[in-house]
A and B are shown apart, each in its own frame.
Chain A
Amino acid sequence: MIRLENVTKRYPGGQEALSGLDLSVDKGEMVFVTGHSGAGKSTLLRLIALIERPTGGQVIVDNQNTSRVKRRKIPAYRRQIGMVFQDHKLLYDRPVFDNVALPLVIAGVSRRDAGRRVRAALDQVGLLHKEKQNPETLSAGELQRVGIARAIVTRPKLLIADEPTGNLDPDLSLEVMRIFRRFNEVGVTLLIASHDISLIDRLGCRRIPLEEGRLQQEDEPW
């Protein structure tokens, strides 16, 4: 699903976020990218979402070489990927329902179909009863679940999440991870950046440890 070949990302000023990184994630896998802040986790996800482009190497997502995706085609590319953010990036000027419906509106889904899909997505994160509320009235855990509903409402094959539990306490974090796990069980590929090692160990998923933009050598075999 995701393959990185010798990927380097250097920022102006010479700072290197990723250095010759090789990795691959298979279809249907649920994988965690771990490491300290500054290890390159976010940069990796940004390259996959085409928010940035690598300085060198290839990023291949679902058999598409991202370096061949033209600027004009980036929106269509992004619509294939579900994205979850640490700060959930919800829009506070509209209710939960409209937030979750936004990707469908962008994709041009009819209003009737959109309504059914939004409710299905909200149901999956357990927030169906909050569809009319404004995000301001929700708790941190609920906000993140709305963010997840928005990411999965278009049924993407790939979901990437940058520190989705970064602002949550352990119980809420586990709840969010269980939701991810359920998506994984129906075939969604997930790549999640997190530094919450204890939580990841409890889920028993594969880890990709990064350190200073490189794969960290670990004792345990993959």
Chain B
Amino acid sequence: MVVNRHAEAVAPVRSSGPVSIWATRHVSTAIGSLGRLVRQPFSSLMIILVIAVTLALPAAISLVVKNVRSVSSSWDNALDFSVFLKQELPLGEAEELARLIGQRADVDTVELISADDALAEFKQQSGFAEALDQLSDNPLPHALVVRPGPGNTSASLVLLQEEITNLPETEHVQVDTEWVRRFHAILDIVRQAIAIGAALLGVAIIVIIGNTIRLDIENRRDEIEVTKLIGATNAFVRRPFLWTGFWYGLLGGLMALALVYSGLYMLDGPVARLAGLYQSNIAIASLSLAEGGAIIGVGIFLGLSGSWLTAARHMRRIEPR
């Protein structure tokens, strides 16, 4: 037995094939790095949580924007025009006009609100009934509510609006949807702001991971020196730290997804109730598979960047003394 062992020891070192060496080393280093994280569960969890919150924040806000956008885009189709007619126009002519406009191909429906109806409604809703009773004349004109047909483009809507405005009976056309366009512009700004904020938070993640890895490297300085002394390359001593960064990024990304999904789960009930009130079937748009994958991918990318930037710099500096 002893003789046999001796023969083993004398045989020259035979390495396996380069690819299998590479794979074996990476698998065992990856497991080793994960083991280190598991052995310090509290501090690992803190860092993963910080990364998760930092990733989840922009993801959640952009999900809100995405939902608001999908709800508000349905308003685009309901671009009702309020057409206020000239004060002196008699009711019969107003009815005739309503009929004519209603025959247009690009118009869905036209509703006539007579001056009397408008006043009655105004009295009821405004609470100025007594004050309004003092008036001798009805100050309100007849009005048409024109709902364009669904086949309209935004250009044809502008054309329709212009044509109605140019009618001799028309006093004033009010487009109720101006605010929708402004609202969309605001959403665009919010989205832009999220992108900027997300970039800054990404830098923060790189710094956090870099700093964690730096402490880790300082703690294992002796080990790095010794391994270099017995022939380890920079790549070899760097590898476990890169894997640590990878794990932080991956676990942070997964936890960010968990945070977003639990947020969606908590909002599910209230949104269903709101949808019930509006008698519509609004459902929250969740993260698509690609978006979920992107969160994890960004997490891994940031984890690797942070650890690589730090490890590359420190590994060259630590040399055996």
- Chain A interface residues toward B at CB < 8 A: 49, 51, 75-79, 83, 89-91, 93, 102-111, 113, 116-117, 119-121, 123-124, 150, 152, 154-155, 186
Contacts and interface: CB of A to CB of B under 8 A. Distances in A.
A89 B228 CA distance: 12
B14 interface: yes
B223 A93 contact: yes
Given A105-B28, A123-B9, 11 more contacts: A78-B229, A78-B230, A106-B232, A108-B21, A108-B24, A111-B28, A113-B16, A117-B8, A120-B5, A152-B9, A155-B9
A155 B227 contact: no
B182 interface: no
A119 B9 CA distance: 9
Given A75-B233, A76-B231, A110-B16, A91 B223 contact: yes
27 contacts: A49-B229, A75-B232, A75-B236, A76-B231, A76-B233, A83-B229, A89-B226, A89-B229, A90-B226, A102-B227, A103-B231, A105-B28, A106-B227, A106-B231, A107-B13, A107-B15, A108-B24, A109-B16, A110-B15, A110-B24, A111-B24, A113-B14, A117-B13, A120-B5, A120-B6, A120-B9, A123-B5
A109 B6 contact: no
Contacts, number: 89
Given A89-B226, A91-B223, A109-B15, A186 B231 contact: no
Q: How many B residues touch the partner, as a band?
A: 20 to 34
Contacts of B100: none
Contacts of B9: 117, 120-121, 123-124, 152, 155
Nearest to A91: B223
A6 B20 CA distance: 45
B2 interface: yes
A49 B226 CA distance: 13
Nearest to A106: B232
Contacts of B13: 104, 107, 109, 117, 154-155
Contacts of A77: 231
Given A93-B223, A117-B9, A79 B24 contact: no
A155 B223 contact: no
Given A51-B320, A83-B230, A106-B230, A116 B8 contact: yes
B25 interface: yes
A124 B16 contact: no
Contacts of B230: 78-79, 83, 102-103, 106, 150
A76 B9 CA distance: 20
B231 A75 contact: yes
B243 to A, nearest CB: 15
Chain A facing B: main interface SS: helix
Contacts of B229: 49, 51, 78, 83, 89
B5 A108 contact: no
Nearest to B230: A103
A103 B13 CA distance: 11
Contacts of A113: 14, 16
Contacts of A186: 10
Contacts of A124: 5-6, 9
A129 B228 CA distance: 28
The 6 closest A-B pairs by CB, nearest first: A79-B231, A120-B9, A108-B21, A78-B231, A120-B8, A75-B233
Nearest to A79: B231
Contacts of A107: 13, 15, 231
B11 interface: yes
Nearest to B232: A106
Contacts of B222: 91
A76 to B, nearest CB: 7
Contact of B5 (A75, A78, A119): A119
Q: Which of B2, B222, B236, B320 has the most CB of A within 10 A?
A: B320
Contacts of A120: 5-6, 8-9
A101 to B, nearest CB: 11
A123 B2 contact: yes
A109 B14 contact: yes
A116 B233 CA distance: 24
A125 B208 CA distance: 46
Nearest to A80: B231
B278 to A, nearest CB: 62
Interface in B1-41: 2, 5-6, 8-16, 20-21, 24-25, 28
